[in-house]
Structure 1
Amino acid sequence: MKRVMFVCKKNSARSQMAEGFAKTLGKGKIEVVSSGLEASQVREEAIATMKEIGIDITDQHSKPLGDFKAEDFDVVISLCGCGVNLPNDWVLREVFQDWQLDDPAEQPEIFPRVR
């Protein structure tokens, strides 16, 4: 089974929502984890925004990227354009994507759009 890592700056919103979507849509097909360049706390707005569409992320926790090994993942997706700050072993995985998603922490009204 393919393993997917979503990475963001603080693992508090974008990557948490992505993890929730991927776990729901890829259930039984992929394994999904999210992390941040640094750990934080999952934002209440992210939890509420996902709950609006029936996805519960209340049991997810913010985790630092340093807790994981790049070789354990097939796909790495950066959600904040932070790929330039990732160690090379993460960027050189089988599939690496660096998506530029706006940070809803700076503009809480855009949580639904970023979701």
Structure 2
Amino acid sequence: MKNILVLCTGNSARSQMAHGYLQHFAGERAQVYSAGVAPHGVNPLAIQVMGEDGIDISHHTSNHADEYTSLPLDYVITVCDNAREQCPFFPSTAKKVHQSFTDPSHAPGDDRLAQFRAVRDEIKAYSQQFIEENVTSQAAHA
């Protein structure tokens, strides 16, 4: 089983959505975690748009990246440039992957829900491809 950690700045939207989709696509083949370098709670709009696609992240918590430094990780995925720059040191052989997504919480009020949906869809496509390439195909070759 692979251990995957997704990082962003606040662990409120992008990393939470990626956490939900990566776990969904990986199933029992991976354990997914998410954290931030400055966590500030799960964004209600992230919960809403994920629920619209059948993924429940309402039970997720917003955690600090330091909580996972001793976990044996296979992958650390940063989903924003700030988290990549501030990524804490993980004393492991974890492969570091960076895929930046626009922060939907910075969209103007009238466009915020549409931006959350657009970023959700980008994260969904990325997550499915990531699992296929890094978890599913490796499991077939193991």
For 1:71 and 1:56, the matched residues in 2 are separated by 25
Query: What is the Cα deviation at residue 87 of structure 1?
Result: 2.6
**1:4 alignment counterpart:** 4
Task: Assess if the C-alpha contact under 8 Å between 1:49 and 1:111 holds in 2.
Answer: yes
Q: Is residue 83 from structure 1 mapped to residue 84 from structure 2 by the alignment?
A: yes
Q: State the TM-score, normalizing by the size of structure 1.
A: 0.91
Q: State the TM-score, normalizing by the size of structure 2.
A: 0.75
For 1:40 and 1:93, the matched residues in 2 are separated by 28
**1:98 alignment counterpart:** 98
The count of corresponding residues between Structure 1 and Structure 2 is 114
**1:21 alignment counterpart:** 21
**1:114 alignment counterpart:** 119
For 1:93 and 1:83, the matched residues in 2 are separated by 17
- Between the aligned residues of both structures, percent identity stands at 31
For 1:31 and 1:87, the matched residues in 2 are separated by 20
Query: What is the Cα deviation at residue 71 of structure 1?
Result: 5.0
Structure 2: where are the runs of 5+ without partners? 121-142
Structure 1: where are the runs of 5+ without partners? none
For 1:102 and 1:70, the matched residues in 2 are separated by 29
What letter is aligned with 2:38? E
Q: Cα–Cα, structure 1 residues 25 and 42, in superposed 2: closer, same or farther, change >3 Å? A: same
For 1:93 and 1:70, the matched residues in 2 are separated by 12
Task: Assess if the C-alpha contact under 8 Å between 1:71 and 1:93 holds in 2.
Answer: no
Partner SS state of residue 6, structure 2: strand
**2:138 alignment counterpart:** none
For 1:70 and 1:78, the matched residues in 2 are separated by 18
Off by >4 Å, runs of 4+ in structure 1: none
